[in-house]
Amino acid sequence: MDFIAENGKVITDKMFDQMAKEYEDESWDATKLGKATAGRPSIADEEVVPITFRLPASKVKALDAKASAHGSTRSKELREAVGEYLARA
């Protein structure tokens, strides 16, 4: 079975087998992969803190619809709204 990587490159089972062999015999060149980054990309230059609050279901539905229409997420829309609010304050 062939797989297609994000960059469009086709990777075959034979290629996977060769990569596994190289990894197992410790001849794998990890630099081919580039720099590894753990987790999601940072959204700020400082520590971020999760918060939780409640909204009526109808407002959550409207928020999700607006975010979807903008190709965004609920969290991103809320971060932008808080940023605009604080800029006015």
Q: How many Cα neighbours within 13 Å face the side chain of 73?
A: 3
The phi and psi torsions of 25 (rounded to 5 degrees) equal -95, 10
Same domain, 55 and 20: no
Nearest to 66 by CA among 82, 86, 58: 58
Same domain, 28 and 53: no
Q: Which residue has the tokens 């992969």?
A: 33
Token pair of 18 as six digits:
């060769």
Give the per-residue pLDDT at 44.
86
Same domain, 88 and 60: yes
Per-residue pLDDT of the chain (89 residues; tens, 9 = 90+): 788 887 888 989 998 899 899 989 988 887 776 676 677 778 888 888 999 999 999 999 999 999 999 999 999 999 999 999 999 96
In this structure, is residue 18 part of a structural domain?
Answer: yes
Give the per-residue pLDDT at 36.
67
Same domain, 62 and 29: no
Supply the range of the domain harboring residue 10: 1-33
In this structure, is residue 39 part of a structural domain?
Answer: no
Same domain, 21 and 56: no
Give the per-residue pLDDT at 42.
81
The two counts, helices (H) then strands (E), for the chain are 3, 2
Same domain, 55 and 86: yes
